[in-house]
Copies of this chain bind each other. A is one copy, B any other.
């Protein structure tokens, strides 16, 4: 009996980076509002300093700080108000000792002034003078020119996801149009004579197609794009034709099911025929996820991936290889994970990287990770999971009370 020759997770990742003919993410320039949620394809630097002038962070009076050194509630300092700055307009007059100017929050601080006194500590004395009742230390409530970012300063790195703060930074930098990566276009083919569409009631022996749906949602969540998703009967010619017709407009072709060594497992043969130089991985030392097949077609630069038919295994391989590769190719950093204390001992399969679903409970001080056990890692258990822990192939498991990183699917 022929057994699968397996690659380690680390080994297969190296192969994915080194393989010839792999898809490379393309870039495009889109409007700022179309860039939300996308991944930056270039570093973004400031064109000019932000802010480009000295601003007040309060409503109040711009003063020479030395003037106010002795000011108190009972013995205020009186200053002549020489100007009222209007928001959005330049300050005209220079502040000299004994004078001040009203500046609203965000307004321009006039030359000569070196501090702001909040309006709450001032009272108009007559039409031209204000009584300042509190000392304003040098620089207080002054946002210096370039304090947010200097001219030519790196604001956002290539590979950054454009969330709320990044959208704000891009707006501040005047980035009307933004260079972003074009999402990889993904074709998802689920194979199996047992599969029926989601709207149909399965007969004995039949099940509803799960993988095209779960993978489509995953493709979307990870910032890629599904161009086609279909469930196919087990037919070698049909599958080969579908794979070949997907090449032209797909960076990735995912085929789930048909990747183990059973009688109908022709995915390997087909991917071997279609891919340039044959498949380079058939079998992964990963639990779950062993029956994984990888190859690529170098002309269209399409990665061909045979994923396990089992939903949790398919999603695990998608996370650890496809999402990982997309992040690597686009310069994304690993997302923040959480940390938890293991609730129980957990045995793993030595010689394989093991990926285990856990549920997290907050015990007041931190999270406790409880493994979700189930002999076949069913899709419902995955929906109950808050994340997964990983056990290195050289370890035999995790110990109770051990502190472990917990990763999220996506």
Contacts and interface: CB of A to CB of B under 8 A. Distances in A.
Contacts of A87: 192-194, 205, 234, 264
Contacts of A234: 87
A371 to B, nearest CB: 16
A366 B214 CA distance: 31
Interface residues of A, number: 112
Interface of A: 1, 3, 32-33, 36-37, 48, 50-53, 55, 57, 59, 85-91, 104-108, 119-120, 123, 143, 147-149, 155-156, 160, 162-172, 174-176, 192-195, 198-218, 220-221, 234, 260-264, 309-311, 315, 318, 336-339, 360, 365-367, 374-376, 378-380, 382-383, 385-387, 403, 406, 408-410
Contacts of A209: 171
B203 A90 contact: yes
A168 B339 contact: no
Contacts of A375: 57, 143
Contacts of A366: 339, 403
A260 B58 CA distance: 9
A171 B214 contact: yes
A307 B392 CA distance: 48
Q: Which of A166, A167, A338 has the most CB of B within 10 A?
A: A167
Contacts of A380: 50, 148-149, 155, 169, 172
